[in-house]
């Protein structure tokens, strides 16, 4: 009896408060949407629409959006790791150089070392090259992490050193010579017509993703029911599921509307000995493999940050390092693991970038550290520590890349591009700090 009363009293109180709120406020409360994230998505859409208008409709085409997704992949992968680094009040200035060095190692492995042992275009070449790259990236990250966490040298200094060391090392591997071409399977990680999964597989991925979203919403609702926690209204759950599925299927539709260029179709027809006119054969790109890799990295990293102990410790460490230490957590090891993860992500980004270029150069990834940090910060990662999301950083990477490729489409001079990107970064962080202040 008394229990029933207690349970009823709370929703009534909330209802009373809810009736005083505006429709919009009630909507946000019911859906528990992050208004900051919505603001960022709004800004991204605004950037897209403005570029589309000024470029005369060139920006919002399947072709440009598909290219944008491929161009974003490498920085987006690194930005997910940068979130962990910045959340724990560290910084990593060396990611671009690590990318350059690891890319060079992977290129030499597949183009110069392995052919002598197992021949050209062996089906396992790409696996070995990628594994070597990830091992080297993890080792570099471990070294950085060890010096930062156990020897107590500030991350800024260690990774500033790393910026110089690994850029120099990238040159040193081949004395500055560019290594090319890459293994044909390895090259699929760079995108392009063959490095995309095609229309049917893309729809399949989209449908699986929709089912996953619905399953997750349903599962979390069931979990909360089990412990009798307050629930979101059903319409809000349905709205979230609907929006999620709409965005996913819309994205698949866009990448499936971008067809292979006529020259490649011609080669394809010749290679397969088809009796068909080039203009009659429309082959859709579908989702590019590097984009799939970036999404997979994003999902894994989101899982790590929100569902594992390690992720909880990362955020606690950023919020209050002393408290985390007092709680009996081995904060040094946590810090070292963060840098190991960052190194592995640099290796994955290096694979994408090397495969896309079909070559490794000693300048590869130069200034990527700044794009990566900017992506994380625009995505809502606070340099004061403790705050940041993986999704936000990936959207931040899309924002940065949109600005850059949009300005290229408009034909802006390179110096002007740099000026705009710099100003946008400062304004974005300023707006963010205004938003945060208004929240407290």
Residue from 35, 200, 320, 433 touching other proteins (CB under 8 A): that is: 320
Residue with Cβ nearer other proteins (19 or 439): 439
Residue 316 CA to residue 325 CA, distance in Å, equals 10
Residue from 239, 319, 358, 410 touching other proteins (CB under 8 A): that is: 319
- Please, which residues bridge with residue 284 across strands? 259
Per CB under 8 A, does 318 bind other proteins? yes
Q: CB 17 → other proteins: shortest distance, Å?
A: 12
Per CB under 8 A, does 329 bind other proteins? yes
Residue 382: phi and psi, rounded to 5, are: -90, 130
Per CB under 8 A, does 325 bind other proteins? yes
Residue with Cβ nearer other proteins (14 or 112): 14
Query: What character string, x for contact with other proteins (CB under 8 A) and - otherwise, covers 224-243?
Result: x-xx-x--------------
Residue with Cβ nearer other proteins (306 or 433): 306
Kindly determine how many residues on this chain lie close enough to bind other proteins according to the rule CB under 8 A.
32
Q: CB 135 → other proteins: shortest distance, Å?
A: 24
Residues 276-305 that bind other proteins (CB under 8 A): 303
Residue from 90, 159, 324, 335 touching other proteins (CB under 8 A): that is: 324
Per CB under 8 A, does 386 bind other proteins? yes
Q: CB 321 → other proteins: shortest distance, Å?
A: 9
- Report how far apart, in Å, the C-alpha atoms of 287 and of each of 58, 123, 190, 260 are: 20, 23, 12, 13
Per CB under 8 A, does 316 bind other proteins? yes
Q: Which stretch binds other proteins (CB under 8 A): 43-51, 140-148, 220-228, 404-412?
A: 220-228
Residue 332: both structure tokens together: 């040094």
Q: CB 329 → other proteins: shortest distance, Å?
A: 5
Residue from 201, 223, 246, 433 touching other proteins (CB under 8 A): that is: 223
Binding site for other proteins (CB under 8 A): 10, 223-224, 226-227, 229, 303, 306-309, 311-313, 315-320, 322-330, 386-387, 440
């Amino acid at each position: 009896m008394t229990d029933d009363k207690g349970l009823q009293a709370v929703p009534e109180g909330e209802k009373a408060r809810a009736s005083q709120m505006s429709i919009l406020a009630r909507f946000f409360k019911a859906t528990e949407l992050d208004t900051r994230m919505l603001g960022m998505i709004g800004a991204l859409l605004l950037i897209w629409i403005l570029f589309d208008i000024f470029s005369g409709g060139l920006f919002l085409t399947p072709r440009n959006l598909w290219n944008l997704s491929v161009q974003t992949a490498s920085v987006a992968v690194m930005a997910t790791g940068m979130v962990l680094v910045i959340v724990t009040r560290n910084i990593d200035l060396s990611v671009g150089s690590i990318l350059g060095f690891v890319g060079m190692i992977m290129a030499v492995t597949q183009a110069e070392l392995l052919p002598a042992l197992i021949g050209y275009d062996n089906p396992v070449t790409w696996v070995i090259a990628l594994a070597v790259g990830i091992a080297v990236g993890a080792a570099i990250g471990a070294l950085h992490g060890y010096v930062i966490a156990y020897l107590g040298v500030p991350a800024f200094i260690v990774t500033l050193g790393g910026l110089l060391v690994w850029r120099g090392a990238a040159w040193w591997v081949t004395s500055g010579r560019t290594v090319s071409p890459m293994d044909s399977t390895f090259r699929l990680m760079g995108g392009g017509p063959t490095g995309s999964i095609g229309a049917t597989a893309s729809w399949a991925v989209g449908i699986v993703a929709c089912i996953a979203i619905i399953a997750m919403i349903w599962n979390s609702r069931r979990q909360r029911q089990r412990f009798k926690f307050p629930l979101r209204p059903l319409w809000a759950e349905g709205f979230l599921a609907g929006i999620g599925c709409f965005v996913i299927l819309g994205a698949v539709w866009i990448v499936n509307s971008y067809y292979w260029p006529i020259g490649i179709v011609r080669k394809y027809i010749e290679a397969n000995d088809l009796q068909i006119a080039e203009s009659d054969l429309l082959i859709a790109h579908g989702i590019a493999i590097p984009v799939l890799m970036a999404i997979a990295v994003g999902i894994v990293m989101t899982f790590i940050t929100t569902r594992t102990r390690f992720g909880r410790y990362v955020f606690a460490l950023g919020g209050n390092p002393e408290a985390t230490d007092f709680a009996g957590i081995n904060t040094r090891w946590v810090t070292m693991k963060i840098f190991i993860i960052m190194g592995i992500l640099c290796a994955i980004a290096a694979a994408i970038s090397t495969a896309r270029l079909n070559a490794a150069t000693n300048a590869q990834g130069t200034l990527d550290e700044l794009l990566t940090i900017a992506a994380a910060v625009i995505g809502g990662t606070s340099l004061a520590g403790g705050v940041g999301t993986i999704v936000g950083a990936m959207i931040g990477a899309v924002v940065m890349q949109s600005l850059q490729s949009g300005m290229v489409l408009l034909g802006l001079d390179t110096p002007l591009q740099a000026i705009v990107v710099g100003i946008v970064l400062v304004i974005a962080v300023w707006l963010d700090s205004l938003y945060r202040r208004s929240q407290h």
